[in-house]
Amino acid sequence: MGKTIIEKIIENHTDGPVKPGDVVDLRIDARIARDFGGANVVKNIKKHNLSIQDPGKTFFTFDCNPGGSDQSYAANQQLCRIFARENGIRVYDINAGIGTHLAIDEGFVGPGETLVSTDSHANIVGAVGAFGQGMGDKDIAYTFAHGEIWFKVPPTMKITLQGKPSSLASAKDVVLAMLRELGASGLLGFAVELYGEWVKGLSLSSRVTIASMATEMGGICILFPPNIAVEDHYRKLRGKIPHQLSADDDADYLKGLEIGIEDLPPLISRPGHPEDVVPVAAVRGKKIDSVFIGSCTNGRYEDLLAVAKILQGKKVAPGVVLKIVPSTDRCWQRCLREGLLSLFKEAGALVGNAGCAGCAAGQIGQNGPGEVTVSTGNRNFPGKQGLGEVYLASPATAAASAVAGQITTADKIPERPAVFVPRLPLQKTGIKRGKPQGVAISPQRPTVVRGRVWVIKGDDIDTDMIYHNRYLAITEFEQMGRFAFSNLSGWKDFPQKAKPGDIIVAGQNFGRGSSRQQAVDCFRALGIGMIIAKSFASIYERNAINVGFPIMEAGEIERLNLHSGDEVEVDFLTGRIEKLSSGEVLFGQPFSKVQLEIYQKGGLLERGG
């Protein structure tokens, strides 16, 4: 049986043949730590007295808070700078831009190669036929020190896009169509190879846009076979076309899917759920307060050029704030040389220096209570980009809406923009903060535990609901517990109610979203005994396993009819879950050999790592 591209990449970076489900030690060609995760990576390396395996393949990128405008971020960035100087590591500092884009643009990862980062969108490098994965700070510290990390070989799905979208649609509209079809967990645990006639001719920027949203569908990555655009990019960077891989004719895909995009119109995601996708026409006329254009999904030159064509000779609607952030300094400089920055300013936009923005609380792009925003980002989870409503759309739709003062498409910009009418003042909002509770996991490492359950209803609980990004600069473990579920409606008082040994029971795709380790550590700090879920997002699963925090997948957990306050007994070795009040039993997924070994050690980096 033949191999898929992803299987070939993994085989080339480990010892011997692989198949889905195998756990291997994967050699990593490029390792990145960002500004908020980087400080914890450094602390882990120092705590365990580890060295850097290959400084030439190791990087820091400061893209969440370019400017260090927050004292905690500034301190974390400086900690990383000093460590980098001492160890010969290159720093792409606050003026450089988004780390995953730098990995492609600077060429330190290419087709057939591997990258890991504390960025959950490290899989962007699938755009050039490389394998990237977002990981937590324990993983990255281990990779800095050893040049490899354990990884479970994912099954591969083959998706073929059929047809050609309308002239008004872009790559963002196509990936929103994929998200509409697949939902928040349709790619959960899968690596995807993307094919189709339209795909073959895509520019590098368009490939980046689509690859960047694999995470929003639960996927490990969306990988493109390299085309001429990618070949030309690496010929300029490296002086030659890198070795390329293609799937065998008889490659064994676990699943195949065709998605039709013929005459696809512009699409938009409604607030709160990236997968809640409708045609822009369905919400046309919705009054907006602001527009954000940028992010790792749509901040490249090609995206900003599409915006410039719409803004040429026009003004942003009265009262609307337009914020534009290029993805990298190289992109920013090109916009400067070619007059795009002047055009943006003349239209009334605020232009920021290169970086993530929008998604990260440390830069422009956040919105306030009641604020309606059209964003070109990849996520619109509640609270992710602020306390308002966020619609996800293409750069063209975002720019047209900024001019119109209401949601619209480039071909439907009205002669007169929508204007604001007086309305009632907004009510103040806030998050209750409890006292910190730092309770460590028992050092005895039992394999059978009992505890009171808290049943979190609903699927796709994301990391911003679990641990909001406004608290990411906090690196003291003991302080994290008080912010657990701080952005999940109905659960903001969880830190005050929870007791050591309690067990969280959740639905599908628990922990989707960013790679932040704090979304696991906040529960550890509270002394939570374990989490049982129907399924876990892949990065969240790794982060929990790597700190020795017990998690178990139980796809039919609802059969026990658990309610908050019930008690259960869980056996990690067999997967046995018993509801103590009734004696009912269900079997979840027992700990794998790797999970058990790490759990018994107390973490991936413990006892010498």
CA 492/CA 482 separation, integer angstroms: 9
Say what the pLDDT of residue 440 is: 38
Say what the pLDDT of residue 473 is: 78
Q: Give this prediction's pTM.
A: 0.85
> Which helix (DSSP H) or strand (DSSP E) does residue 398 occupy?
helix 395-404
Backbone angles phi, psi at 17, to 5 degrees: -65, 155
> Which helix (DSSP H) or strand (DSSP E) does residue 346 occupy?
helix 340-347
Please name the fold of domain 267-412. Answer: Aconitase; domain 3 (3.30.499)
State the architecture of 5-260 in CATH terms. Answer: 2-Layer Sandwich (3.30)
Same topology, domains 5-260 and 267-412? Answer is yes
- Supply 476's token pair: 């003291």
Q: Give the residue ranges of the chain where pLDDT is below 50.
A: 426, 428-442, 608-609
CA 200/CA 104 separation, integer angstroms: 19
- Supply 27's token pair: 């050699």
Q: Where are the domains of the chain?
A: 5-260, 267-412, 448-608
CB neighbourhood size of 195 (10 A): 17
Name every residue whose Cβ is closer than 8 Å to that of residue 112 and which is 6 or more positions away in sequence: 8, 9, 12, 129, 130, 242, 243, 244, 245
- Supply 288's token pair: 């907006």
Backbone angles phi, psi at 91, to 5 degrees: -110, 125
**b/e burial code for range 300-330 (CB count within 10 A of at least 16 → b):** bbbbbebbbebbeebebbeebbbbbbbbbbb
Beta strands in 239-368 (DSSP E): 255-260, 267-269, 277-279, 290-293, 321-324, 349-351
CB neighbourhood size of 85 (10 A): 10
Please name the fold of domain 448-608. Answer: Aconitase; domain 4 (3.20.19)
Amino acid at 472: L
CA 535/CA 510 separation, integer angstroms: 6
Beta strands in 413-558 (DSSP E): 448-455, 503-506, 530-533, 551-553
Say what the pLDDT of residue 283 is: 97
pLDDT tens-place string over residues 455-512: 999 999 999 999 998 888 788 899 999 999 999 999 999 999 999 999 999 999 999 9
CB neighbourhood size of 24 (10 A): 18
